[in-house]
Structure 1
């Protein structure tokens, strides 16, 4: 038993050298092409030579028992046939078998024949498996079976029988174990390569999908931006500024301006329920219907009720939109508004520091069809300021989950009341950003600021 262990250790050392070379070949583009079943005469020739030389080295690096070399020669043709197909397996087997035959000795014929048949049988197994990888278990089992067959034909073909039995009794276990371990290591390397390639393929597919989705969202964002007014309307005696910052590539907030009868201008600010693409699609629908309704109806009340009925009829997903619609008459300074469940805009009169709220006059659009809406009315004069906003402003949180809130918003407005609407909007967004520093923006932010000159 000690002698067999010594033989096995000698063969295992040989396997370690072969494995080092195997790592290089399995990483080559020739072997990669073979694994992908993309065979050419060039890669087959290169692989036949490599595995053939591997077989030769398995013989030359072996040890002798009773004049017969013990080795891992069959490992090259077996690996070649199993992983690169019958042509490579048979080619490598012939190289290894011919070289062994030239060495002579009592086991010359059975060993040479076993090496060639190793490549043949491995190639047949490759064909039977079709496009499937043999797997580590099948590869090791095949190596054990092939080396057992090697021992059998040695007994049958070597004479005298006493010599055959003596050689097999000493060589069988070390050679079977050594070749099985060698095949285990080689097939494990191949398995890792295939796993890496699968993972890489999935990663590339994921990246491609992410890039495609990103491109689609960028296009959707551009389309949505096109739905927002390109410029501020000119309202005599008033200064106006609006901005929109979605939390994601696309959002559900919007603002709009409508040319109304008698030189009046309609101002719309709205916030669709939900986030992302569904909210963006519903936003575009809501904006289109509201704009059309405001153009059809001179009455603020009728415009909102008509828009609500149309949105309710189209909303099968349960989505809704909060919205405030104001009509500004620049001649009289009169503003008529209807608020459908939206954040109450703040009116700051030039004569004091108190804020008036344009409170809701009905529920959100799209909730109930045929809902009635009330209206409100305010009169403004020089220096008065109205700030329309969405809850992305007041509900912005910091690291302590503390909301920005209405009081902070009022403070910023008071501190900047004499600035232009654009500067006021900039101060508000800067304050919100400073408040939520380090936290991601989780809701869309929209501002419309109207100032009487």
Structure 2
């Protein structure tokens, strides 16, 4: 007697016992045989068919309408079984993709990691939080041999793994430049050619690139269509936006960029960010840029890292802890 024949006989005996006695012991038997069905991969339609055959053997005079309804149930369970198998396959595939994205996110975090440079002149704070597993924002620091500090902040128009790969390419392109020896406009022009040649035409990258020179106390900067940051003047106690124009990276290989300069004094502050900060929402309404400044002002007395942490927590709560976009904020305070 093969396994299915044994199942059929045991099922008929259990069903007959329950029909005759309707006691709990028979139901316990049904529970045990159900576990055997799962263990032996017996499909739902096979169980229904076992039920029909057992019922016909127990009650050969079974009314035609009841038998017909059981046949209908059998067809229903066949369709259910096929749909359930498809669902299980899709679920397994989804879990596999999630696992791959998790690994990719960990690799991205490792590859794009940029340590905050130590300097006597500047107090630097950074926070970058992805809305999903992969981060479409990027920040980069380089400390030159002359003590200069180079800062890049970028945002890719396009998300997911393609965006992460593009950011990795940008990072390694930047690592190949003698950054402390190149002007900010020249660096953006070089990166623009890299992006135009290697990134899908449907994706573009915005970037703000700055270099602080401690010898002169000046900040040199250029922008490739990036979200304007803010400059705080300690002397005047005022904020103003950085005025820097430039086309996003990857549109035209011959694009040129302009370099601007700004003298930084003790008590001044530089705020660089992505649109995930300025486009936070209250419900379905975008906040105003002035609201971002008001929040920053309320924490200005703190060290730079604590400022960015507190600003992030504020907007995280504002959005019910569900980021709509990647959130990156960099603050530099001139302390000497």
Normalised TM-score (structure 1): 0.61
Match of 1:244 in 2: 128
Residue 331 of structure 1 corresponds to which residue in structure 2? 215
1:325-363 Cα deviation digits (max 9, x unpaired): 111112332111111111122111211222232222311
The equivalent position to 2:290 in structure 1, one of 407, 411, 430, is: 407
- Please list, as runs of the form range in 1=range in 2, the aligned pairs for 1:367-406 lying within 5 A after superposition: 367-399=251-283, 401-406=284-289
Distance of aligned partners of 1:319 and 1:51 in 2 relative to their CA distance in 1, 3 Å threshold: closer
Is contact 1:404-1:432 (8 Å) kept? no
Select the residue among 330, 333, 336 that pairs with 1:451. Answer: 333
Judged with a 3 Å threshold, the aligned counterparts in structure 2 of structure 1 residues 230 and 296 are, in CA distance, closer, same or farther, namely closer
The answer to whether the 8 A contact 2:148-2:180 is kept is no
Alignment RMSD, CA only?
3.1
Is the contact between residue 257 and residue 265 of structure 1 (CA under 8 Å) also seen in structure 2?
Answer: yes
Encode CA deviations 1:398-426: one digit per residue, 9 max, x unaligned. 12x32222101111222222211111112
Residues 194-233 of structure 1 mapped to structure 2, 5 A cutoff? 194-233=78-117
Deviates more, 1:371-380 or 1:187-196: 187-196
Question: Structure 1: any 5+ residue segments left out of the alignment?
Answer: 1-16, 60-70, 73-177
> Secondary structure at 2:271's aligned position in 1?
strand
Q: Secondary structure of 2:282's match?
A: coil
Deviation at 1:273, TM superposition (A): 0.4
Distance 1:304 1:378, change over 3 A: same
Pick the structure with more helix per residue. Answer: 1
Higher strand share: 2
**How does 1:94-243 map onto structure 2 within 5 Å?**
178=63, 180-243=64-127
- On the 8 A contact 1:252/1:282 being kept in 2, the answer is no
Which residue of structure 1 lines up, in the alignment, with residue 6 of structure 2? none
Structure with higher Rg: it is: 1
Name the TM-score, length of structure 2 as normaliser.
Answer: 0.80
**1:442 maps to which of 318, 324, 332:** 324
Native 8 Å contact 2:125 2:306 kept in 1: no
Q: In structure 1, what is the Cα distance between the partners aligned to 2:37 and 2:99?
A: 36
In structure 2, the gaps of 5 or more residues are 1-14, 20-26
Counterparts of 1:297 and 1:278 in 2: how far apart (Å)?
31
Which has the higher relative contact order, 1 or 2, with Cα contacts under 8 A spaced 6 or more apart? 2
